A and B are shown apart, each in its own frame.
Chain A
Amino acid sequence: MAKNPNRPLSPHLQVYRWSPQMAISIFHRATGFVLATAGMMTLLWWLSAIGGGAESYATFQQYVVSAGADGTALQIASNWFFRLVALAVTFSFFQHLASGLRHLVLDIGAGYELNTNRLWASVAFVAAIFATALVALIVASRFLGVL
């Protein structure tokens, strides 16, 4: 039996085109993981540093926010690490929020038409990126004195 090599195959992962609807699903999971781990651990460190008194808050600031003029190499490296964490957590927060709100709409049975679904998946991404950029600008100008 001669097989036509170009015959249509049943749908398979390799032949799917990456779409916003697919991306938003996996991003929802990934950002949820980032928030539950890095996000919450940093929040708990911040809260316990506040509760621990001036000295423990100074330690938190040296490692997370700014090592200051006489910071050690470890503290300066830690600052950069936490800037990345802050960016990732901020983006994760807005991404998870936007796609979570989209999820609630889908859960009541609305928004499944192909174009509508694609549109709101894209809107969630754009909103998250925009909000992250806005927060980064506020933090950079208000706390880091960059702008």
Chain B
Amino acid sequence: MDSRTNIGRVRGLGSAKHGGEHWLKQRLTAIGNVLLTAWFVASLLMIPSFDQAALAQWLAQPLVAVPMILMIANIYAHARLGLQVLIEDYVHDDGLKFAAMTLLNFYVIASAVFGIFVVAKLAFTGAPA
């Protein structure tokens, strides 16, 4: 028996009001990725030399470092949303799901920070010898 009033029962149930957020973020980061990876592929095709000194100079330019940082951040944001769905769909055990989701967040955030740091360091301090 539930002695609460009708309105008391209804409150706290139902939608969390976040239904569209994941879906919409997935699409917005997807559009971002189309643009940023198109830039990246075009840049790769136009790089004249693939030796380290030339690449370091290339990567340290603001017009390369900024889109590269944006691309890393956007790809990992998109990957986190997508891999989250994979885990939700295929990992059914609650404990395993929690572990997988934790690992996913660690992987995504650590990788994104690492990549952004590498590019930023090169852009701010110049190419090492």
| A interface with B by C-beta (< 8 Å) | 29, 32-33, 35-36, 40-41, 43-44, 47-54, 57-58, 93, 97, 100-101, 103-104, 107, 143
B16 within 8 A of A: no
Q: Tell me the residues in window 41-62 of chain B with beta carbons closer than 8 Å to chain A beta carbons.
A: 50-53, 55-56, 59
The dominant DSSP class at the B interface is: helix
What are 22 inter-chain pairs, A to B, with CB distance below 8 A?
A32-B79, A32-B83, A36-B79, A36-B83, A40-B79, A47-B68, A47-B118, A47-B119, A48-B118, A49-B52, A50-B52, A50-B55, A50-B59, A50-B122, A51-B59, A51-B118, A51-B119, A51-B122, A53-B128, A93-B37, A104-B27, A107-B27
The dominant DSSP class at the A interface is: helix
B52 touches A57 (CB 8 A): yes
Query: Nearest B residue to A58 by beta-carbon distance?
Result: B52
Kindly state the separation between the CA atoms of A103 and B75 in the bound complex, as whole angstroms: 17
Q: Smallest CB–CB gap between A2 and chain B, Å?
A: 39
Question: CB-CB < 8 A to B96: which residues of A?
Answer: none
